Amino acid sequence: MTTERSFDAYQIPEEHSDIRAAVRAVCDAKVAPNATHADETGEFPTASYDALRAADFHAPHIPVEYGGAGADALATAIVIEEVARACASSSLIPAVNKLGTMPLLIAGSEDLKRRYLSPVASGEAMFSYCLSEPDAGSDAAAMSTRAERDGDHYILNGVKRWITNAGVSDYYTVFAVTDPTARSRGISAFVVEKSDPGVSFGAPEKKLGIKGSPTREVYLDNVRIPADRMIGEPGTGFATAMRTLDHTRVTIAAQAVGIAQGALDYAKGYVKERRQFGRPVADFQGIQFMLADMGMKLEAARQLTYAAAGRSERGDDDLTYFGAAAKCFASDAAMEITTDAVQLLGGYGYTRDYPLERMMRDAKITQIYEGTNQVQRIVMARQLLQG
């Protein structure tokens, strides 16, 4: 007996392939040339931002009704993947714009969405996400930043750490304690503007990788903001933060896939040109085995990432598992692939004259931020045990 089956779900739609081609063209021409400079100087890649903004790839996830491109979760992942292939620091432009604005999309009022999403969609502003603190990393519910009601305002005090694009972004989703007796159920989310009196920033962190994306502390010193800047209801901030990460871990997986793809592409070209013992090193079986393993891990990571992106778009019940799995697997794969790519270049791979040592350094952070991979395994295990 034969059964008619459709396997369209296992093929990327043509419009998504077209998006990939368009992003790659922009990145090859106008983003990749800035990657080394951003890494060496630690400067935000303004030229890359301008190029992404001109092509509407800086915040593609924002819905059309707020002036955005309205890209779905898979298209957004592909954009981030392709930018990361060229420059990991620049890929944090679309990735962190999504991270910062996702709480508004999940729980924000219509007024907040229109007020803050439109400037991000147009490229006039960027959005960052303030969850972690000096003493509250993986245990985010242990945060100490406070937001106290004062009439029709809230007054915020505290310090947020490891904030990506801090100082460059105009807007910040800030999580703060509004009821200290309720632990996670006493946390609320707010929109804070860089221009609000009392907002300041620490010195840029001296990092191993993604140096072109500034990471700084955000200081909140009696920051007085209107109560209507609360995102959702009081006490729902922690739940919004966790729902946000379910979606945005997919973007970190996409970033990891892109970094790995860039490393594999460069290594493939090198081993076909580099000659030893009278022939290209690509002819040697040991090299071929390494390339095969790199390609296999990369494609497995990509497929898991795309599967998670589909669940993100649909809001499936198993998104928490798939988001954690994609982020964990893809980032581990990226670290392995970039390390092997450095190995394939031998001594040259260890020098800054070639881009692979940068890609290896950039890959490392994908195993750490938006929840370490140890935390991702805890998340996955809990999901599995809950059925």
DSSP string, 314-331: HT-TTHHHHHHHHHHHHH
Cα dihedral 306/80/104/71 (nearest 10): -70
Instruction: Please tell me the predicted confidence (pLDDT) of residue 192.
Output: 98
Which two three-digit tokens encode residue 163?
């904030």
Predicted confidence (pLDDT) at residue 216 exceeds the cutoff of 70? yes
3-state secondary structure of 335: helix
Digit-coded pLDDT (tens) for 233-286: 999 999 999 999 999 999 999 999 999 999 999 999 999 999 999 999 999 999
Tell me the average pLDDT of the chain.
Answer: 96
Q: Is 197 exposed, middle or buried (0-12, 13-18, 19+ CB in 10 A)?
A: exposed
Instruction: Please tell me the predicted confidence (pLDDT) of residue 387.
Output: 84
Q: Is 185 exposed, middle or buried (0-12, 13-18, 19+ CB in 10 A)?
A: middle
Predicted confidence (pLDDT) at residue 377 exceeds the cutoff of 60? yes
- Give dist(CA 169, CA 59) in Å, integer: 13
Digit-coded pLDDT (tens) for 81-97: 999 999 999 999 999 99
Helices (H), 225-284: 237-273
Q: pLDDT-derived band of residue 8, with 50, 70 and 90 as boundaries?
A: low
Predicted confidence (pLDDT) at residue 99 exceeds the cutoff of 60? yes
Predicted confidence (pLDDT) at residue 16 exceeds the cutoff of 50? yes
Q: Which residue has the tokens 């990735």?
A: 95
Instruction: Please tell me the predicted confidence (pLDDT) of residue 152.
Output: 98
* Percent of the chain whose pLDDT exceeds 70: 98
- Give dist(CA 348, CA 352) in Å, integer: 8
Instruction: Please tell me the predicted confidence (pLDDT) of residue 9.
Output: 54
370 has catalytic annotation: yes
Q: Is 153 exposed, middle or buried (0-12, 13-18, 19+ CB in 10 A)?
A: middle
We find that the CATH architecture of domain 8-125 is: Orthogonal Bundle (1.10)
Contacts of residue 70, defined as CB under 8 A and 6 or more positions apart, other chains included, come to: 62, 63, 64
CB-facing half-sphere around the CA of 183: CA atoms within 13 A:
4
Which two three-digit tokens encode residue 116?
């803050």
82, 133, 357, 370: the catalytic one is 370
Q: What Cα–Cα distance (Å) separates residue 351 from each residue in 67, 90, 186, 219, 343?
A: 44, 22, 50, 37, 12
Topology match between the domains 8-125 and 238-385 = no
Read off the pLDDT of each residue in 186-191 and give the average, rounded to a whole number.
98
Q: pLDDT-derived band of residue 2, with 50, 70 and 90 as boundaries?
A: very low
Predicted confidence (pLDDT) at residue 185 exceeds the cutoff of 50? yes
- Tell me, which fold does domain 128-235 have in CATH? Butyryl-CoA Dehydrogenase, subunit A; domain 2 (2.40.110)
- Give dist(CA 194, CA 165) in Å, integer: 12
Largest distance between two CA atoms of the chain: 80
Digit-coded pLDDT (tens) for 333-342: 999 999 999 9
Predicted confidence (pLDDT) at residue 5 exceeds the cutoff of 80? no
Instruction: Please tell me the predicted confidence (pLDDT) of residue 330.
Output: 99
Digit-coded pLDDT (tens) for 124-143: 999 999 999 999 999 999 99
Displacement of CA 131 from its chain's centroid (Å): 14
Query: E strand or H helix at 213, and its extent?
Result: none
Instruction: Please tell me the predicted confidence (pLDDT) of residue 132.
Output: 98
The domain limits of the chain are: 8-125, 128-235, 238-385
The partner residues of 255 in beta bridges, in order of sequence, read none
- Give dist(CA 163, CA 345) in Å, integer: 34
Contacts of residue 134, defined as CB under 8 A and 6 or more positions apart, other chains included, come to: 159, 161
- Tell me, which fold does domain 238-385 have in CATH? Butyryl-CoA Dehydrogenase, subunit A; domain 3 (1.20.140)
Which two three-digit tokens encode residue 368?
């750490």
The DSSP output letter for 284 is: S
Read off the pLDDT of each residue in 338-360 and give the average, rounded to a whole number.
98
Question: CA angle, corner 91, sides to 194 and 35, nearest 5?
Answer: 105
pTM of the model: 0.96
Instruction: Please tell me the predicted confidence (pLDDT) of residue 160.
Output: 98
